[in-house]
Structure 1
């Protein structure tokens, strides 16, 4: 329970959900075809998007069961992400602090499955020594497990150029924009060419 609370605080401080929400807002026609979040956790991003854009199809994919408080209009697919993606398509695919849990061979499996979407929004840890140093300032405010997990997650994160290559986001098919945030995030926005 403490780790979930810590993750909400980290997401807030990093501005992850706000960034994804801004990207979703920029693509109204694509958004109307739906948003799928992989590794959705408690579904807070999709709840936020549902309030901002009523009526758009929203779907979460996570191994965890559907939270009881989540609005009914958000579909929940409780199974392996690769199984879910193989049967999914839509406008926007979102992943927030999720892909760093996968090794290189698994990451390459995402690429062909992402072709079923028109826009991809990804937030991941920015793998730098500075990000690890900055994360240590949070240590007094998080639980023991999160203190450990933060550093492990940053070390498993990505640097610019790495994630699009690992996912196979071909420049002939995708317009890819990457940015880093001073809060330790690497953000990837890919849209169909």
Structure 2
């Protein structure tokens, strides 16, 4: 008897078996090729534009902005980890946002920062200024760190901030296939495709991110979700704010 297999398991298999096949990847953190390029290298700039397209397709910045409007008191001060070209900071300049947003990254500050916005060119694992912020935002950044590094980062943040919002890759096989299709249709470069696969394999499922950050159940509440476009999202807030 011939048994046919689909992308996520045996054809005709129960949904639970197909889902288990889809989500059976172990988390694997590896260096991304983009990080080996100078920030102002032409190839690096092109890759960041392509990542901006992927970000938009995942709806990450829109979701982070909605969470800020929904959960943060006015006025608040937020810090974006791995702020890159400053796209989220530009979105937060709107008068409708309750939160002024600063940036933290290893790269230089964007050239269009407004007065009052701050930029820290530092390693986020060694940054000592989290106490100045109400909220931390991360977009496609937490997956780049091992569980031990996330625990270290979580210990630094959780002592100070009241909110943590994250948009990361969901670690499912179907999103590897989606990434290949999007990169092919969008004529994206080889490094973007390669780093995208690395990112998905380092992504999260379930409550893995708040657990890896070491957020304590007696201090924090969180809401984690996975979307069909490959997005893993976490909103976390301290209990006294519930």
TM-score of the two chains, using structure 1 as the length reference: 0.93
1:47–1:74 contact (8 Å) kept in structure 2: no
**Helix, strand or coil at the partner of 2:130:** coil
1:34–1:56 contact (8 Å) kept in structure 2: yes
* CA distances 1:65-100 after superposition (whole Å, capped 9, x unpaired): 00112323321001111232x222221110000011
Corresponding residue for residue 37 of structure 1: 80
* CA distances 1:149-168 after superposition (whole Å, capped 9, x unpaired): 11111001111111111101
1:172 to 2:218 alignment: yes
Gap change, CA 1:182 and 1:173, over 3 Å in 2: same
Gap change, CA 1:121 and 1:54, over 3 Å in 2: closer
> Larger helix proportion, structure 1 or 2?
1
1:184 to 2:227 alignment: no
1:47–1:71 contact (8 Å) kept in structure 2: no
Alignment partner for residue 110 of structure 2, among 42, 67, 71?
Answer: 67
1:51 to 2:94 alignment: yes
User: Equivalents in 1 of 2:234, 2:225: separation in Å?
Assistant: 7
2:72–2:99 contact (8 Å) kept in structure 1: no
Corresponding residue for residue 129 of structure 2: 87
Alignment partner for residue 16 of structure 1, among 60, 63, 76?
Answer: 60
1:97-112 matches, within 5 Å, as 97-112=140-155
Deviation at 1:27, TM superposition (A): 2.3
1:38–1:95 contact (8 Å) kept in structure 2: yes
2:125–2:149 contact (8 Å) kept in structure 1: no
1:46–1:60 contact (8 Å) kept in structure 2: yes
Aligned length: 191
1:146-165 matches, within 5 Å, as 146-165=192-211
TM-score of the two chains, using structure 2 as the length reference: 0.75
* Structure 2 unmatched runs, 5+: 1-44
More off after superposition, 108-117 vs 182-191: 108-117
Deviation at 1:104, TM superposition (A): 1.5
Alignment partner for residue 77 of structure 1, among 96, 108, 120?
Answer: 120
